[in-house]
Every structure is written in structure tokens, then in C-alpha cells.
């Protein structure tokens, strides 16, 4: 082995993480074309303790839009190309039931990461993730009881419902990668700390499905990847 | 060989051939072809029984989409999803073999699933072995640890009254209704995990032979709180109810079965037939 080779081997061993060689970012905006379905107003009169928490009645959140046709609550993540991240973050993610609504409406987490479910309401909820790849379970959470602690081991987008309050619906996005983002009210997302490489970026919207785009990061650059979903007209 | 002899020889060959082939098939009682795949003897026997007794509702793929399924409510179980209602194990976990065998023996009350009394114990074991080939979950997971049912405390008026308070506090009435008639405010909107409408259990309707989906004893009722009924809106209360509280709730629920002879109804009658319950917030 030549001296250069040795040096190179040493550098790789010491430097290890690729981010030392430069980390790229993929950012962009998610928008829609067409006319999204009008969201329905929720009647909470059967649950007065929740109804009184909302000055104006809330609506369903199947499609949440903003000015200039932006889409909120879209999960954007690296579905191929990212290095395998072995362990889930130690920090738990939290899913809160407040005013008979799920906050956030879409909660992303790593496979195996702790999920805490909190009931902030004065009524019983049952948390019922309708998992197909993971296991379906269904637990009651009366008011004043401590948070539930759960985790999911496999990648899946899981609808969550409360059978007592049929309007409550949310999603768990369980992902194998830590490189994910959920679009904010301006439709923007950003996936930082990407080592050089070729990636597949996937955007998931609960009603409109998924879209993918490939992108190559060659150094500490920021690449723009925008997604446009076609609105379902009903 | 003259033509007569040739015909006779051909007959003999055909008859012998039939004899051999029928002898070879003699071991298969179902009359169906031998199943594909690496089934063991028990699974193969179970497969034959499944095609005879179960396929009409649960379907050839075990997905609950059999020929009769459109006419059945609630829908037959989907063995591919491996979500089972009657378990002794926690919500989200696989049942024990004995749980599935009990379901075959008992049937599922208020559903299309009858008790399979005509099957032998060995038949039931074989069927369970075959049913477990439909989902890969059985390869990668073990059944959950069965929940413990502590001894039942005495039926007293205090126990029944406390159970009635818990019925309010846990908001059982939201689905089951204040009189346990299955007519609570959320009842009309309930759906199972396949989006089919489903009714909450009607306690008041039950006669002296009252059964629940997963059994008829107080112990079965206790177990349902703790395990939940997976695939339905009935959640598990394992994390939020103490064993004694769950027994109190069992005692109260028995008094909702007004037409059923029970220790609980006797105790209630002896103390005047009224449960003193604190008014609720609602």
C-alpha cells in the first residue's frame, strides 16, 4: 500500500461522516393545480367540552392550502439513496388531542422512535391507528390519564382515528429515514445535512398520494425541488 | 395378438391403472388437490378442513372475501391482516393458539361465526395451524403475553355503585348508552377497521342466556376491557384501569342485563333496585 493510499484510508477512517466533505440541502415548495375539494365544517355539538374550545367551528384537514396554491401537511422525505441510519432518535415525538382535534394533523417519526400520545381534553378519546403493515391497536385514554407511549417498527403512513369522535382523523408518517420535513403553511420544506450522492425525494399528501423526483447532491449546495399535485375536484 | 385379446388386455391395463391411482389418492379425504407450499402434516389437514368448512366466508385467500361475505354482517375475519377480536393477549398483539381454538369452539355471538361443535379437538388444532399460514406476522412475531385475570372480588352494592361511577367516568355510555342499550351519542357513527358500520353491544337486550362476543363469564367480560376487541371501535383500557375497578365495572354491567338472572341483579334487588350515582358533568 502506498503512502497516499494509507493517508486516504486514514482520512476516511478519521473523517468518517460524509458531512465533513460538505453537506447539501434539498429545499422547495409544494403546490397544487386545479380546485381542491371544499373542507367540511365539523359539528362538535355532541361534545360540548370540545366545541367551546373553538370560537369558530373547525373544518376537516384532508387538504390544507395557503395563498398562491401552496399545500400544507405534505410529508417530504428521502425514500432512496440516504445512508442507513441505524438507531431512532432518543427524543419522543408528541401527538396531542386538544379540542377534539389532533395536533399536529400529520405527525412524522422514525421507525422505532418513541411516540407520546397526550389527551388535553375533558373527554375520553380512543387512539386507534389503522395500521396495515404495522399492528393495528386501539387504546382508551380518559381525561387526566398519563400520556401513552408507543412505537412503530415498520415504514408506513397510518391513518389514526377516534371512534368516540368520528370527525377526528390524523396520520402517523413512520419513516426509515431521519431526512424528512412536513410542509408549513407557506408550502416550504427543507432537507438539510445531505452528504453528496443521488437521492430520491418523495412527497406524500394524504388525499393526493405520492410523487417522486431524483436529485444529485455533489457538495455543499442547495438544490431546489418543487412538487405540484393535481387537486381532486370533489 | 388377435383383436379380441388386444381389447381384453387394454381393459385389464385400464382397470389395473385405475386401481393403482385410486389407491394413491386414498389418503386424501377432502378430495381436493394436495396444497402447494411447504405445509406440514397438520397444516395440510387444516387446509382440507378449511376448504370444506371455512372457505365460503373467509375466502380462498383467507382475506375474509369468501363467496358469502357480501351477505354477512359483521364481515368474516381477514386472516391476512391477522387482527383478531377475541384474544387473551394485549391490543395489537397476536393471539395464543388456544384463543383461536376457543373461538372455533364457542363461535362469535351476534356474528355469522357458529360454534364448530362437530369438529374434533385435532381438527381445530389443524385449522388453527393452517389459518396461521395466511399472514407473515406469525413467522416474525410471537403472540403477546396473556393478561392476568385476578380473582373476582365479592359482588356488593359498593362494587356495583363504583362500577356505575366508572361507567360514567370512562365514558362507556358514549357508545353503549346510559342504559347499556348500545344507543349512545357516538353509536350511529361507529365503523370497524374496514369501514363497515358496527353496533356497540346492547346489554339490556340480553336474556338469561346472554353471551358476549368473546365468552359468557364475568372473567370474559373483564378480559375484554383489558384486551379491547381489535378491529372494532372497542379500545383496550389496560393502561387506564386498575384490576379492582375493572371488576366493579363488570358487576355494574351485569345489572344492565336486566333480564338475566345474576348475583349482581340479586344484590341490586335486595338493596332496593336503585344505584345511587353522582350526577355527571353532561
CATH classification of the domain holding B204:
1.10.760.10
Q: What is the pLDDT averaged over residues A160-189?
A: 96
Q: How confident is the model at residue B207 (pLDDT cuts 50, 70, 90)?
A: confident
Per-residue pLDDT band for A86 (boundaries 50, 70, 90) equals confident
Give the domain-ending residue among B140, B168, B189.
B140
Give pLDDT tens digits for A106-137. Answer: 999 999 999 999 999 999 999 999 999 999 99
Question: Which pLDDT band holds residue B110 (cuts at 50, 70, 90)?
Answer: confident
pLDDT band at B206 (very low <50, low <70, confident <90, very high): confident
Tell me how far apart the alpha carbons of residues A174 and A179 are, in angstroms, rounded to a whole number: 12
**Averaged pLDDT for residues B239-251:** 96
Q: Cα(B163)–Cα(B160) distance, rounded to whole angstroms?
A: 5
Same domain, B91 and B165: no
Q: Which residues constitute the domain of residue B254?
A: 157-270
Would the CB atoms of B236 and A139 count as touching at under 8 Å? Answer: yes
The model's pTM is 0.84
Examine residue B7 and state whether it is found in any structural domain, yes or no.
no
H/E element, B124 = helix B121-131
Q: How much is the pLDDT for B23?
A: 40
In a domain, B90, yes or no: yes
pLDDT at B65 over 50: yes
Tell me the domains of chain A and their CATH numbers.
26-230 (2.60.40.420)
Q: Kindly determine whether residue A137 and residue B239, on different chains, have CB atoms separated by under 8 Å.
A: no
Rounded CA Rg of chain A: 21
Strand order in the sheet with A75-80: A180-182, A75-80, A197-205, A209-217
C-alpha distances (whole Å) from B238 to each of A108, A140, B218 are: 26, 8, 17
Closest CA of chain B from A41, distance in Å? 17
Note the pLDDT tens digit of each residue in B37-47.
688 999 999 99
Strands (E), chain A: 24-33, 64-66, 70-72, 75-80, 93-97, 102-103, 106-110, 115-119, 125-129, 139-141, 148-150, 156-161, 169-175, 180-182, 188-194, 197-205, 209-217, 222-224, 227-230
CA–CA dist B231, A56 (Å, integer): 34
Q: How confident is the model at residue A62 (pLDDT cuts 50, 70, 90)?
A: very high
Q: What is the mean pLDDT of chain B?
A: 88
Q: Looking at the domain assignment, is residue B119 inside a domain?
A: yes
B231 has a chain A CB within 8 A of its CB: yes
Nearest CA in chain B to A164: B186
- Which pLDDT tens digit goes with each residue over A147-171? 999 999 999 999 999 999 999 999 9
Look at the block and give the residue holding cell 388437490.
B33
Residue A5: Cβ within 10 Å count: 9
- Which of B92, B175, B189 lies closest to A137 in CB terms? B92
Residue B74 predicted with pLDDT over 80: yes
Determine contact, residues B176/B165, Cβ cutoff 8 Å.
no
| A136 → closest Cβ in B171, B186, B231 | B231
For residue B91, is it within any domain? yes
What confidence score (pLDDT) does residue A232 get? 85
Amino acid at each position: 500500500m502506498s503512502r497516499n493510499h494509507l493517508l486516504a484510508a486514514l482520512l476516511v477512517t478519521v473523517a468518517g461522516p460524509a458531512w465533513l466533505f460538505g453537506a447539501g440541502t434539498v429545499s422547495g415548495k409544494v403546490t397544487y393545480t386545479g380546485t381542491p375539494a371544499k373542507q367540511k365544517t365539523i359539528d362538535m355539538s355532541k361534545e360540548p367540552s370540545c366545541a367551546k374550545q373553538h370560537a369558530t367551528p373547525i373544518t376537516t384537514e384532508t387538504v390544507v392550502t395557503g395563498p398562491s396554491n401552496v399545500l400544507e401537511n405534505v410529508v417530504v422525505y428521502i425514500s432512496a439513496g440516504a445512508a442507513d441510519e441505524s438507531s431512532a432518535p432518543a427524543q419522543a415525538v408528541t401527538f396531542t388531542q386538544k379540542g377534539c382535534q389532533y395536533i399536529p394533523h400529520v405527525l412524522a417519526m422514525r421507525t422505532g422512535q418513541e411516540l407520546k400520545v397526550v389527551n388535553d381534553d375533558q373527554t375520553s378519546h380512543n387512539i386507534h391507528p389503522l395500521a396495515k403493515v404495522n399492528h393495528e391497536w386501539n387504546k382508551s385514554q380518559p381525561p387526566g390519564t398519563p400520556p401513552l407511549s408507543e412505537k412503530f417498527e415498520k415504514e408506513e403512513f397510518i391513518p389514526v382515528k377516534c371512534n368516540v369522535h368520528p370527525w377526528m382523523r390524523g396520520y402517523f408518517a413512520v419513516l426509515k429515514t431521519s431526512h424528512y420535513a412536513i410542509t408549513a403553511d407557506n408550502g416550504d420544506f427543507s432537507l438539510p445535512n445531505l452528504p453528496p450522492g443521488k437521492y430520491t425525494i418523495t412527497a406524500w399528501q394524504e388525499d393526493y398520494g405520492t410523487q417522486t423526483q431524483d436529485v444529485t447532491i455533489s457538495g455543499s449546495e442547495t438544490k431546489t425541488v418543487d412538487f405540484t399535485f393535481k387537486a381532486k375536484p370533489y | 395378438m388377435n383383436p379380441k385379446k388386444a381389447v381384453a388386455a387394454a381393459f385389464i391395463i385400464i382397470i389395473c391403472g385405475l386401481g393403482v391411482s385410486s389407491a394413491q389418492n386414498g389418503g386424501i379425504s377432502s378430495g381436493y388437490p394436495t396444497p402447494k407450499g411447504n405445509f406440514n402434516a397438520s397444516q395440510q389437514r387444516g387446509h382440507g378442513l378449511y376448504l370444506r368448512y371455512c372457505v365460503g366466508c373467509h375466502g380462498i385467500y383467507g382475506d375474509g372475501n369468501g363467496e358469502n361475505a357480501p351477505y354477512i354482517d359483521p364481515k368474516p375475519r381477514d386472516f391476512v391482516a391477522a387482527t383478531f377480536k377475541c384474544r387473551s393477549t394485549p391490543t395489537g398483539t397476536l393471539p395464543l393458539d388456544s384463543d383461536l381454538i376457543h373461538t372455533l369452539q364457542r363461535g362469535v355471538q351476534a356474528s355469522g361465526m357458529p360454534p364448530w361443535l362437530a369438529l374434533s379437538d385435532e381438527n381445530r388444532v389443524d385449522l388453527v395451524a393452517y389459518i396461521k399460514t395466511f399472514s407473515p406476522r406469525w413467522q416474525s412475531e410471537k403472540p403477546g403475553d396473556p393478561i392476568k385475570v385476578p380473582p373476582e372480588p365479592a359482588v356488593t352494592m359498593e362494587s356495583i355503585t363504583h362500577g356505575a361511577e366508572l361507567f360514567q367516568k370512562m365514558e362507556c355510555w358514549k357508545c353503549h348508552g346510559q342504559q347499556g342499550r348500545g344507543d349512545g351519542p357516538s353509536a350511529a357513527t361507529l365503523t370497524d377497521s374496514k369501514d363497515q358500520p358496527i353496533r356497540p353491544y346492547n346489554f339490556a337486550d340480553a336474556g338469561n342466556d346472554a353471551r358476549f362476543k368473546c365468552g359468557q363469564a364475568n372473567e370474559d367480560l373483564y378480559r375484554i376491557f383489558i384486551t379491547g376487541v381489535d378491529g372494532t371501535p372497542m379500545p383496550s383500557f389496560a393502561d387506564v384501569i386498575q384490576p379492582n375497578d375493572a371488576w366493579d365495572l363488570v358487576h355494574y354491567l351485569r345489572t344492565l342485563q336486566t333480564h338475566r338472572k345474576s348475583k349482581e341483579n340479586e344484590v341490586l334487588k335486595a338493596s332496593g333496585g336503585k344505584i345511587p350515582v353522582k350526577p355527571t358533568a353532561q
